[in-house]
Structure 1
Amino acid sequence: MRVDELPEWLPGWCADVLGAEPVGVRFALRSISAVYGLRLAGGRDVVVKARTDDGRAASCVAAQKLLAERGFPCPRPVTPVVGVGALAVHAEQSRPGGDLLRGDAPAVAVRYAAVFARLMAALAEVTVPPPLPNPRWARWDHRDSGLWPAIGFLDERDQRAVPGHVVDTAERARARLLAADLPCVLGHADFEAQNLRWRNGNVWAVHDWDSLAWQPEAALVGAACGTFASASPPTLAPIESSAAFLAAYQELRGRRFTLAEQEIAWAASLWPAVHNARWEALHGDRPVCGEAVRAQAAERLRRANALSAAK
């Protein structure tokens, strides 16, 4: 992308908020958020993120800033969230480099669990308004009618394409999650390999802080133990690797989960996968998560004590 191809509002925003206009585009990505890596006049590199303003961004950016200032390996925001029309926009330091850590073996799971334990310990010291609603792929706690959270562009598609085993698994996992009576905490709800970078065996950067959530600790850890190996396309880790992640996390945090928390973790390990399996089916994509759910659901539901759905 060239500078003259940037959104019309962006050069002026950079001049007003950052004190310099962009003279180069290092990268541009668009998913739920639009992310622009920019070289500003004067030579400074920044990353500007813009997303639909749903009320979550200010809390996410505030938490990210506190963690970065305390030495956690993440980009440090250099602006607060600023409204631009219907968008919530902020800029952060560029933190390039590092490599993906690929693989889904138990030993890899333990390395990811160590980062997640460090992340959750750091967030436990952060106080911000809960970033609600939770990200759509983690929103099992929604209050919309029906099984799935209301997501217009998915809901308008033919739901008959979603396999019955995906719907059944989602119903059972969600029923177990909703039956939990656990306090909510702040946590990262998109803990995937694609959002971390490593250098010399150590984590170099954790990205995607737009994806903070407000849910029980066990649910956040459970989701992470299922998603940690995801690069592209997303996947569901093997059961033995999720088990290794959960065991390592508890050891590193110095607290063993109660039986109820163990069950909630296993139920939550399925929710991102069923969300992704639904996405695959509705878009006609290869059923990577769909097949993993088919193969693993029975055992994960057994460990979650979710063998039947609430009626």
Structure 2
Amino acid sequence: MDDLPTWLAGWCVDHLGAEPAGVLFERRSISAVFGLRLIGGRDVVVKAREDDGRAVSCLAAQARLAERGFPCPRPITPVTTIDALAVHAEEYQPGGEVLLGDSPDIAVRYATVFARLMAELADVTVAPPLPNPRWLRWDHTDDGLWPAIDFLDEKDQSVVPAFVVDTAERLRKRLLAADLPCVLGHGDYEAQNLRWHGSEVWAVHDWDSLAWQPEAALAGAASGAFANSSTPFLPPVESSAAFLTAYQDLRGRRLTAEEQEIAWAASLWTAVHNARWEALHGDPPVSGEDVREQAAERLRRANA
């Protein structure tokens, strides 16, 4: 309790009617996420992140899916602003297990949920949640290859391997050349953000990371990231292919030749973002080695 932000107790009183009595969990990354037990016994999750103008649209879409019975936490407050933070609360939805693995069979299970998710979002109308999450922001208008991110840009860029930069340049050129409509989709579709009960999905989390990109790009990015847990990596090419095939089957529409290429380009973009991150932070080059090993084939399929 002593480690909670000073504003949190008062916010809970104002918006939830009670102070926190205990902490169920706490996670800090791009967002700060607090699982709290309030006085009176109610369990909630409070999320706070830098207010970049995306939160209202993301929360509205999450609320629509929860109302329809999609397995995701239901928001219980609107977005409010505390200093430079966008803050809201949602239901605590505990339980379920992370589904680990990167085989084609596992890929198909993840594709099944992603296809359902995208179908549900297809008729949700919200203001586009822009700017896109930084790992899907190849459409930025900043100078240079990468989107402007101060805490990354201030580091020594020369440590990023040349093959990572070259791959990113080829991918971004291909992605920006596409003339495809943008749609709403989950932009951080990783194993760590889903929970399962056996073969059934129990909860999809991290709706703060909705994105506004072509459907093929969103499906492609998911096909390259679905297996990520604590350490991001690329699944085998055949697993991404199985994901994309299953996704098309379930959506009842085949991707065009251009969409196929964009899907494969996007499947590799998040990995080059992660490889740059690893290099700038001196982390083991897990994604970097995956990019080295798989870039040629994924670039070929992307026509990049």
Q: TM-score range by the shorter chain?
A: over 0.9
Distance 1:166 1:48 in 2: 37
Relative to the length of structure 2, the TM-score reads 0.99
Task: Describe the SS at the equivalent of 1:4.
Answer: coil
Whole-Å separation in 2 of the counterparts to 1:138 and 1:42: 41
* 1:59 alignment counterpart: 57
Which of 267, 270, 282 aligns to 1:269? It is: 267
Q: Deviations over 1:137-161 (max 9, x none)?
A: 1101101010000000000000000
Q: Which residue of 1 aligns with 2:121?
A: 123
The amino acid of 2:11's aligned partner reads: W
Give the one of 177, 180, 201 matched to 1:179. Answer: 177
The aligned residue for residue 252 of structure 1 is 250
Tell me the residue number matched to 1:210: 208
The answer on 1:82 being equivalent to 2:58 is: no
Q: Name the counterpart of 1:93.
A: 91
Secondary structure at the counterpart of residue 183 of structure 2: strand
The amino acid that maps onto 1:302 is R
1:200 pairs with 189, 194, 198, which one?
198
The AA in structure 1 aligned to 2:284 is: R
2:18 counterpart residue number:
20
SS of residue in 1 equivalent to 2:56: helix
Picking from 56, 66, 70, the partner of 1:72 is: 70
Select the residue among 137, 150, 165 that pairs with 2:163. 165
Mapped to 2, the partners of 1:201 and 1:305 lie a distance apart of 36
Other structure's SS at 1:5 match: coil
1:146-165 aligned within 5 A: 146-165=144-163
Residue in 2 that maps onto 1:233:
231
The equivalent of 1:143 in structure 2 is 141
Residue identity opposite 1:200 in structure 2? G
Percent identical residues = 77
* AA partner of residue 171 (structure 1): E
Give me the whole-angstrom Cα distance separating, in 2, the residues matched to 1:98 and 1:135.
26
Q: Deviations over 1:266-289 (max 9, x none)?
A: 000011000000000000000000
Q: Which contiguous aligned blocks of 4+ residues in structure 1 show a shift greater than 6 angstroms?
A: none
Deviations 1:69-94 (A, max 9, x none): 10000000000100111110000000
Equivalent in 289, 297, 300 of residue 295 of structure 2: 297
One-letter amino acid matched to 1:68? A
- Partners of 2:233 and 2:189 lie apart in 1 by 12
CA distance in 2, matches of 1:174, 1:126: 28
Please point out which of 2, 5, 27 is paired with 1:4.
Answer: 2
SS of the residue corresponding to residue 77 of structure 1 reads: coil
1:190 is aligned to 188
For residues 5-59 of structure 1, the C-alpha deviation after alignment (integer angstroms, 9 at most, x for no partner) is: 2111000000001001100000111000000000001110000000010000000
Matched residue of 2:36: which SS? strand
Residues in 2 aligned to 1:93 and 1:125: alpha-carbon distance in whole angstroms: 24
Tell me how far 1:201 sits from its aligned partner.
Answer: 1.3
In the alignment, structure 1 segments of 5+ residues that lack a partner are 307-311
Separation in 2, partners of 1:4, 1:99: 30
TM-score where L is the length of structure 1: 0.97
**1-side partners of 2:249 and 2:197: how far apart?**
24
Q: Which residue of 2 aligns with 1:30?
A: 28
SS in 2 for 1:131: coil
Partners of 2:69 and 2:157 in 1: CA distance: 45
Q: Distance in 1 between matches of 2:274 and 2:8?
A: 32
1:195-231 per-residue CA deviation (whole Å, 9 max, x = no partner) reads 0000021000000000000000000000000000000
